[in-house]
Amino acid sequence: MISYLNGSLGSRYFVGVVNERTSFASCVNAFNSYLLYSSSHPSHVKNSIPFSQFLRLLHLCSDDSDFFHKSETMCLFFEKRGYPVYVVQAGHHRAHLLKTSQKNIPPTSSIA
């Protein structure tokens, strides 16, 4: 089991490998302090938060089923913070499309 400290949020994530599948869980004292959607920040800032967090989740989860399970929890979290459903769904969709398009790009050769 590997432990990572997320300095910006002060939370700790534990990453474990089970049968070549990566899974993670946040520590009991981990906290998330994302903006409320009702804050006075510009809308482009608030609308980009779900996308960036889903993208981060994709990088943490090596298995698609694990990602979809964890993303359901994240959707509920954003709903409780007042984010409109369409903003959360758009962020999820954009992150998944980006990850899918990166899988289809052939690796570049490092030999010049």
**56 and 72 housed in the same domain:** yes
Domain that holds residue 83: 34-105
Rounded distance, CA 9 to CA 31, Å? 7
- Per DSSP, the three-state class of 98 is helix
| Polymer length of the chain | 112
**51 and 15 housed in the same domain:** no
Task: Decide if 18 contacts 3 (C-beta within 8 A).
Answer: no
**45 and 78 housed in the same domain:** yes
**27 and 41 housed in the same domain:** no
Determine, yes or no, domain membership for 112.
Answer: no
**44 and 22 housed in the same domain:** no
For 29-78, the three-class secondary structure string (H helix, E strand, C coil) is CCCCCCCCCCCCCCHHHHHHHHHHHHHHHHHHCCCHHHHHHHHHHHHHHH
Task: Decide if 50 contacts 88 (C-beta within 8 A).
Answer: yes
Quickly tell me which residue has 């910006």 as its tokens.
8
Most confident of 2-11, 29-38, 58-67, 86-95: 86-95
CA atoms within 13 A on the CB side of 71: 26
How does pLDDT run across 15-72, given as a tens digit for each residue? Answer: 554 445 555 555 444 456 778 899 999 999 999 999 999 999 988 887 888 888 899 9
Determine, yes or no, domain membership for 86.
Answer: yes
Most confident of 33-42, 59-68, 85-94, 98-107: 85-94
**5 and 40 housed in the same domain:** no
